[in-house]
């Protein structure tokens, strides 16, 4: 729905931190309770997109549009919110405060052409070729070895270090070799019109695979960050770029009983140590692709799902809410299900099974 006002203008009416001049999106502390311990807005999870007029917290799934944003902070319904905004901005009044509206830091929405997502075979081929051109730094190898993976497994999983230089050269090589770059998240054209690869943070590239082992997309486990350690490789809002989706990862063969965990890397670790087949979602609120995958798994004979979320999630009411929504999904699709719990000293199941394997090894 189009309005005669923008998200930036609405924010100016509320006790909310405004974006720096020219920024199209920024983060604040989530007012829904997720970021109660955060001291600074910049460390918050709630992202406000001024271009699209939307907001969303990936941690608790709190989000919506312009009217929803005003409604929450002003404690009024959407209809009253629209009336309040128009009155306060004097929209439709001959005395409209044009000067105030013109001097606000409202960035102009860029005209950027994005490509729709390419098919899975094309993405898999391009990502495989990309990873074959990259290596794994010694500190990243050490990180993965400390999770109990062997060098052979690390090589088989195709973990790599993000390219810090020569992104444009790699993209050119892939194009010359006949691989698709259009519709593959991460690739885009730079200011010179040349293809490049979008990397903002150094980290470990994690292939996210479907039930056939094909790479759907890439995540990066970022170095030296305190929040949002795992991020999707995406080139959304870049020229000829493509956005990533919240894909579900499969580790191991399809079996009648499978584990459901949060995080593709954790799934790989648990699968290696236990031999169990694992379904991994990128977050507890990422249920859209999960539902599609679960329907396919059910057709292939999967009957029972054991959920294995991190132990600290039990203390987070927002995660609990999403967790029960996930259980309802399993129930509606006809799966039997249960939950694994372990000693809370170990937050993730990957930590627990690795320590268990170590203790057995040391005991002979």
pLDDT band at 200 (very low <50, low <70, confident <90, very high): confident
pLDDT band at 112 (very low <50, low <70, confident <90, very high): low
Name the domain count of the chain.
3
Domain match, 215 and 298 both: no
Residue 329 predicted with pLDDT over 80: yes
What value does the mean pLDDT take over residues 97-124? Answer: 67
pLDDT band at 88 (very low <50, low <70, confident <90, very high): confident
d(CA 18, CA 320) in angstroms, rounded, equals 31
What predicted TM-score, i.e. pTM, was given to this entire model?
Answer: 0.74
Domain match, 355 and 261 both: yes
pLDDT band at 144 (very low <50, low <70, confident <90, very high): very high
Q: Which tops the pLDDT comparison, 218 or 319? A: 218
- 3-state DSSP assignment of residue 151: helix
What pLDDT, on a 0 to 100 scale, did the predictor assign at position 290? 94
Q: Distance of CA 112 to CAs 49, 238, 242, Å?
A: 15, 6, 11
- 3-state DSSP assignment of residue 338: strand
Domain boundary among 232, 262, 286: 232
Domain match, 94 and 139 both: no
CA Rg value for the chain: 23
pLDDT band at 260 (very low <50, low <70, confident <90, very high): very high
What pLDDT, on a 0 to 100 scale, did the predictor assign at position 187? 95
Q: Which tops the pLDDT comparison, 285 or 239? A: 239
What value does the mean pLDDT take over residues 45-62? Answer: 80
- Its domain, for residue 32, covers 7-102
240 lies in a domain?
Answer: no
2 lies in a domain?
Answer: no
Domain match, 333 and 265 both: yes
Domain match, 188 and 281 both: no
What value does the mean pLDDT take over residues 251-257? Answer: 97
Per DSSP, 118 falls in state P
CB-neighbour burial class of residue 16 (10 A; exposed 0-12, middle 13-18, buried 19+) = middle
> Around 268, how many Cα atoms within 13 Å sit in the side-chain half-sphere?
23
CATH of the domain at 54: 3.90.580
What pLDDT, on a 0 to 100 scale, did the predictor assign at position 363? 55
What value does the mean pLDDT take over residues 123-137? Answer: 97
């Amino acid at each position: 729905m189009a309005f005669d006002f923008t998200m930036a203008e609405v924010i100016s009416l509320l006790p909310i931190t405004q974006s720096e001049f020219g920024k199209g999106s920024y983060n604040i502390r989530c007012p829904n309770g997720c970021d109660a311990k955060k001291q600074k807005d910049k460390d918050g999870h709630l992202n406000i997109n001024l271009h699209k007029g939307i907001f969303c917290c990936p941690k608790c799934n709190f989000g919506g549009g312009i009217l929803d944003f005003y409604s929450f902070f002003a404690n009024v319904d959407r209809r009253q919110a629209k009336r309040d905004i128009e009155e306060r901005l004097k929209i439709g009044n001959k005395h409209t405060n044009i000067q105030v509206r013109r001097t606000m830091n409202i960035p102009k929405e860029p005209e950027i052409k994005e490509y729709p997502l390419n098919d899975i075979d094309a993405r898999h081929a391009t990502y495989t070729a990309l990873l074959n051109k990259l290596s794994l730094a010694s500190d990243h190898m050490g990180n993965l070895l400390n999770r109990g993976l062997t060098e052979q497994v690390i090589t088989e999983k195709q973990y790599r270090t993000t390219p810090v230089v020569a992104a444009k050269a790699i993209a050119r090589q892939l194009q010359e070799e006949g691989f698709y770059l259009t519709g593959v998240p991460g690739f885009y054209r730079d200011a010179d019109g040349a293809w490049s690869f979008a990397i903002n943070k150094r980290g470990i590239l994690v292939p996210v695979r479907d039930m056939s082992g094909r790479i759907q997309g890439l995540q990066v486990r970022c170095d030296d960050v305190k929040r949002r350690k795992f991020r999707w490789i995406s080139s959304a809002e870049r020229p000829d770029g493509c956005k990533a989706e919240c894909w579900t990862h499969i580790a191991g063969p399809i079996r009648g009983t499978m584990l459901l965990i949060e995080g593709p890397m954790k799934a790989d670790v648990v699968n290696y140590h236990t031999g169990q087949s694992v379904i991994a979602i990128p977050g507890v609120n990422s249920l859209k692709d999960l539902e599609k995958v679960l329907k396919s798994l059910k057709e292939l004979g999967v009957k029972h799902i054991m959920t294995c979320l991190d132990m600290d999630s039990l203390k987070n009411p927002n995660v609990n809410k999403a967790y029960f929504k996930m259980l309802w999904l399993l129930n509606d699709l006809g799966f039997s299900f249960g939950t694994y719990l372990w000693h809370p000293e170990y937050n993730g199941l990957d930590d627990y099974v690795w320590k268990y394997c170590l203790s057995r090894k040391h005991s002979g």
